[in-house]
Amino acid sequence: MVDRLKARLWIIFLTGALVSACVTINQGVPATPTEGIVFPTIPPLPLVTLPPIPTLVPQPTDTPTAETAEPATPEPTLAPGETAPATPIDLMPFLTSGITVYNLGDSTLYVDATIIDTGTGDEYPVGVSSVEPDQYTRQATLATRYRIDFSYSQDTNDALGSCTIDVAEADEIDFAALPDGIIVTRNAVQPDDPAEMVVATSSLCQAGAAG
């Protein structure tokens, strides 16, 4: 339980650091409370010992110090005002869940995933994947709310169906698509009501719906 709490706090802390770094990188456009995103206030946290924070983004500096340099490695030289390149974030530790899609149809299936902010309803497109007939593919994902649109046509992204689903940590969500519709299961749990396995009628796919 303590480890789990620490892990969550660590994620919160890291996320804050990342957001701060993001604002730092985009120095050309000063961030003000009136533009862009307003971050929610995180409630006070209990006192715990957090692991050391790695340097995620090299800060711009004209005079690199020996503190961050290997003795035998020459320091990169940055011109005045030049910004050091960003270091990509390792997403792997955050991808704790999985979404699998079987295409049981006879043509290419297009799967369009969007992250939905449960607080504001804002949407963040993740991207479109194509799944060929007789292909199944599992993608490790963040635990969050998604809207997943399915279509056998590139022109209309939700022609076959759409599922807004809350994916929890360690969840494994399976979809099986056919031209007649889509089957959905969570963690291979067999529902009592067969309608719970059909995207069009399953409560799994109505996350955030009124009522």
Partner 1 sequence: MMRSSRLALIGLALVLVGCAGLTNDPGKITVTNNSSTDTVVLTVSLADGQSSMNLAPGASASVRTVVGGVYEVGVTLAGADQEAYVSKLQALRDTAEFLLGEDPTPDQVSAFMDQATEIHNLIEAARQNGVASCQGNLALSLTEPVSVSASVSTSSIGGVTTYSMSCGSA
Query: Contacts with partner 1 in 143-202 (CB under 8 A)?
Result: 143-144, 174, 176, 178, 180-181, 183, 185, 188, 190-192, 194, 197-198
Residues in 8-47 at the binding interface with partner 1, rule: CB under 8 A: 8-9, 11-12, 15-16, 18-19, 21-22, 25-26, 36-37, 39-40, 42-43, 45
Closest listed residue to residue 161, CA positions, set 194, 197, 119, 191 = 197
**Closest separation in Å from C-beta 161 to partner 1:** 10
Residues in Cβ contact with 211 at an 8 Å cutoff, skipping those fewer than 6 apart: none
Give the span between the Cα atoms of 132 and 177, in whole angstroms.
Answer: 11
SS (H, E, C) 16-32: HHHHHHHHHHCCCCCCC
Residue of 52, 88, 121, 211 interacting with partner 1 (CB under 8 A) = 88
- Is residue 138 a contact point for partner 1 (CB under 8 A)? yes
Closest separation between CB of residue 7 and partner 1, Å? 10
Among 28, 33, 74, 119, binds partner 1 (CB under 8 A): 119
Could you tell me which of 142, 59, 73, 152 has the C-alpha nearest to residue 106? 152
Choosing from 137, 157, 164, 206, the residue that interacts with partner 1 (CB under 8 A) is 137
CA 117 to chain centre: 11
